[in-house]
Structure 1
């Protein structure tokens, strides 16, 4: 948020894990899925905040402060199929080779929830600000030796579809993007700015 210029407006940043079962939530359309996951994470975090002590809540939400909860999710779509985090090396090999045949898309949501003492309002999804970014990535063929090194390193197993365009073994084979690199890496700065500004304006 500091990079986006909100450090003075919003103050400190706190990270709270949602700890939800993401695979229990399914929607037919990728944009619907990531939007629903973003809202489900917000619901789970708000429930955790409700269980905080008064002292913990005051530390998290000082009186008079603008407190916004940012949640979201991202999936990779390729040839019409939603790609999960890969569970095997063969899955990574197939995905990486397939990316050269047709563009992959990242579909990422951002949900901004204004947090206040009126808990009912926080759980009211109509009072939240959400949006979805879709970015297309076009690849040239990634050499097999690069794919094998990615598998050995292991980080690709933690990325949807095994997609890591910022990795030095992958970046030279990214032909072009229809969108932005920050969105591919998990969070669209433009979308965050748009939604945060809307949330702050509503509370002015």
Structure 2
């Protein structure tokens, strides 16, 4: 019987892994999210359990102020954001590590100021990369399209995760 440990406190990652049918234990990693690496694909692998949002070529992490969150969300209005997330699977028996990254794009209709105000007041935007909450009831109707998958945007691409789990088991 395989035991899984999710090294992230992310609610959406727990939800996605549960949807995939896995039982797991959560052991959140204490990592420095302020590491400076310019290439988003390299950054997410270095962070190993994180997701970053790219808007106009700039990496956006979790907003820390209301003004920052407002700027992020207004920037997505009638525009798009890219998410780049990584998955790192370690087979603790064989010490085999498999890693990869996945990218998706989210295109938005105009996001009204009252929606932005409500999101900031609620506070959830401060816990996600780029303040990007595509699954939220206030923002999901404003998503024009997603290139990629919703689970990738939310931080744990199912297809990549499954592929890496299977590969790590074959290598043991």
TM-score range, shorter chain: 0.7 to 0.9
Residue 15 of structure 1 and its aligned partner are, at CA, apart by: 1.5
Q: Choose the corresponding residue for 1:21, options 32, 38, 47.
A: 32
Residue in structure 2 matched with residue 4 of structure 1 by the alignment: 20
Structure 2 Cα separation of the partners of residues 89 and 4 of structure 1: 34
Listed one character per residue, the Cα deviations across residues 16-58 of structure 1 (whole Å, up to 9, x for unaligned) are: 12112221x22110110010111xxxxxxxxxxxxxxxxxxxx
Moved over 3 A (4+): none
**Relative to total residues, which structure has the larger strand share, 1 or 2?**
2
Q: Choose the corresponding residue for 1:96, options 73, 84, 100.
A: 73
Q: Choose the corresponding residue for 1:168, options 134, 137, 141.
A: 137
- In the alignment, structure 1 segments of 5+ residues that lack a partner are 39-71
Residue in structure 2 matched with residue 141 of structure 1 by the alignment: 110
Residue 101 of structure 1 and its aligned partner are, at CA, apart by: 4.5
**Number of residue equivalences:** 156
Query: TM-score, normalised on structure 2?
Result: 0.85
Structure (1 or 2) with the larger CA radius of gyration: 1
Residue 137 of structure 1 and its aligned partner are, at CA, apart by: 0.3
Structure 1 position 192 matched with structure 2 position 169: no
Structure 2 Cα separation of the partners of residues 103 and 152 of structure 1: 23
Listed one character per residue, the Cα deviations across residues 50-87 of structure 1 (whole Å, up to 9, x for unaligned) are: xxxxxxxxxxxxxxxxxxxxxx2101010000001111
Structure 2 Cα separation of the partners of residues 26 and 4 of structure 1: 32
Structure 2 Cα separation of the partners of residues 131 and 169 of structure 1: 31
RMSD: 1.5
SS of corresponding position for 2:110: coil
Structure 2 Cα separation of the partners of residues 13 and 177 of structure 1: 29
Q: Which has the higher contact order (CA 8 A, sep 6+)?
A: 2
Residue 184 of structure 1 and its aligned partner are, at CA, apart by: 0.9
Structure 1 position 86 matched with structure 2 position 70: no
Residue in structure 2 matched with residue 74 of structure 1 by the alignment: 51
Structure 2 Cα separation of the partners of residues 15 and 87 of structure 1: 25
**Relative to total residues, which structure has the larger helix share, 1 or 2?**
1
Contact 1:79 1:102 in 2 (8 A): no
- In the alignment, structure 2 segments of 5+ residues that lack a partner are 1-16
